[in-house]
Amino acid sequence: MKKISLVLLTFLLMLVTACEMPQTQTKTKLVAPQISLRENVIKWNPIEHATSYEIYVNDEMIGETTIREIDLSTLDYGTNLIYIIATSTDPLYTNSLKSNVISYVKEQMPLDAPIISINDRVISWDKVANASSYHIYMNDEYKTLVDSLTYEIPENTESGSTFKVIAISNVADYKNSDYSNSVTYYVQEEGPKEYHIFMINDTHGAFTSEENQGVENVAGLLETLEKNNEYIKVANGDMFQGSYVSNVLYGLPILDALNAMDFDAFVIGNHEFDWGLDKIAVYNDGDLSNGEAEFPFLGANIIEKATGKIPSWMEPYTVVNKAGTKVGIIGVIGDTFESSILAENVAAYDFIYPLELIKQYASELRNTHNCDSVIVSMHAQDYDLIYDLTRLTGDSLIDAVLCAHTHQRTLDTYVRSDGATIYSIQNRSNNIMAATLSLSLDANNKLVNTEANHYYINNYSKSASMKDVVDRYASYINDSTRVLGSVSYSINKSTLGNYIVTAMKEEYSADVSIMNTGGVRSTINAGEITVAEVYEVLPFNNEVITTYMTGRQLKSLYNENSSYLYFNSDFNASSLDNNKEYKVAVIDYVYTGAYYDEFDDTIPYYTNVLARDLLLEYIDNLY
């Protein structure tokens, strides 16, 4: 009995103890939020049982919210890593894990860089929005701080010093600007200023030759001239295309030579289109491995049809500082020259009449860039345009015109609207000549005098400094001197034209073969015939096309254009059957040319063979 009572008492004690002990409860973790960023605000969907949300930036809690969104505009500048943790006051729930992390970069907006100009000893610029002051830099070293929009250069400043300006802001949302453009200070001498221009045009790839008209002789002439004066050097178009060495390398040897001679500007000519402009554009793409021009390419009136602007790698003008005189050079091409270019190579461009552009840019150069003088370098000899330029007035006055394209030695004078006499000048082609102009300006930058000269380049010794450039291309020069045969008489253009159409007719078993007379650019002298000479005869990369034409079409083509075309020697228009089809071999320039409508309804078959290659083989076999 006592034993039963003891067991019962033990059970009762255990029951009481169990009732008095607290019960252990399992808490549930809240679901982690998923946050998203839109503009400057982070938002998230509600989390069930959450009463608030902790905000963490870069692993530090910066606050707590109940409204499920955060405006980030008050955060510090830089990269901010943001996440959210849901919290609850309900004892049955614990805080969530981290939400996803969002990286928010808060950037200060850079101020616009000032655009500065210099007049005498005063540098000036327009106010930059949100700028409070400006740092002045001289020769890339910090000089001083100003809160005005001008800076007066101290009187003892060395001539040739360069200046830049940075806009400074005390507004938190903005950071300092990049450097402005650079301007150069020259000590102005009393009395008139004089500057000198050196110009070559239509070089057509004349890199080196037995006639001593290569780039070594051009450099030799320049060295002679620059013993007395510093020259602004302009290459006025059609510089690359024409010789074996330049053609096979798409103008790279000429580019290297112009760089070595420190040319200041290159005006795009019609023959820069011969290989497609993309072959020239690579010389201004920042890639040094494929060659890079150390001068700007100018083409103010070359307009892309797709954009209505000039190509991005060209400039309408350039500004050159020489001996304290700031000169603006506007470059244009003849507005009618599309027809002298293979149609497919110029289809994407318009050449517009440049008078209004020149008027606009001349004023811009004088007023915005503080140029003392403005000249026009045109790849053309457009007398109507030159006359129109002489009628310009005020800030649009033009002080000289450099010409090209016709391969003629020209020197003409015109009376400008203000009574001053201005010159236009052109050289013969293929480095036969170079020209200089020396212009004098009075203290108000009015043109008071011009002197002009032509120089025969083969009268000057080769420059030793250019030898290294020429030697880089020795293997190509050797290839160009390969002998194909020899003749005891010179071969004229007409005979060479007949050789070409004969070679085309034989190669493609054509009934008729055709090419344009203007495509034959040179004769061959008595003696050995080299590869280089054949390239000078046919410098253009004209592909042969075959097609079929009716007798009626061929008669029309012959009757309208026989003065401008070579036909095979046995061609007889009167013997053609109007309704019969004849196989025709023709170069692409003629086939796609605007003057030859008879090809419009025919189907072209592209051979991918150049007429020049056929002529090389023909002459090699003939001689």
Indicate the angle between helix axes 493-507 and 611-622, nearest 10 degrees: 100
Where do you find CATH 2.60.40.10 in the chain?
28-107, 110-185
pLDDT digits over 252-268, tens only?
A: 999 999 999 999 999 99
pLDDT digits over 277-291, tens only?
A: 999 999 999 888 889
* CA torsion through residues 384, 386, 387, 393, sign: positive
Q: How far apart are CA 241 and CA 610, in angstroms?
A: 15
**Residue type, position 69, single letter:** E
Where do you find CATH 3.60.21.10 in the chain?
193-474
Q: Which CATH superfamily is domain 193-474 in?
A: Metallo-dependent phosphatases (3.60.21.10)
Domain 28-107: CATH architecture, name and number where available: Sandwich (2.60)
Query: Strand, coil or helix: what is 535?
Result: helix
Strands 565-567 and 512-516: antiparallel
What six digits make up the tokens of 19? 């009732």
Q: With respect to CATH, is domain 110-185 assigned 1.20.1050.10?
A: no
pLDDT digits over 546-589, tens only?
A: 999 999 999 999 999 989 999 999 999 999 999 999 999 999 99
The per-residue pLDDT for 226 is 92
Q: How confident is the model at residue 1 (pLDDT cuts 50, 70, 90)?
A: very low
The per-residue pLDDT for 23 is 53
Total-model pTM: 0.67
pLDDT digits over 425-455, tens only?
A: 999 999 999 999 999 999 889 999 999 999 9
Residue 269, pLDDT above cutoff 70:
yes
Q: What is the mean pLDDT of the chain?
A: 90
CA-closest candidate to residue 428, choices 450, 411, 451, 452: 411
Where do you find CATH 3.90.780.10 in the chain?
481-622
The per-residue pLDDT for 182 is 86
Q: With respect to CATH, is domain 481-622 assigned 3.90.780.10?
A: yes
pLDDT digits over 394-403, tens only?
A: 999 999 999 9
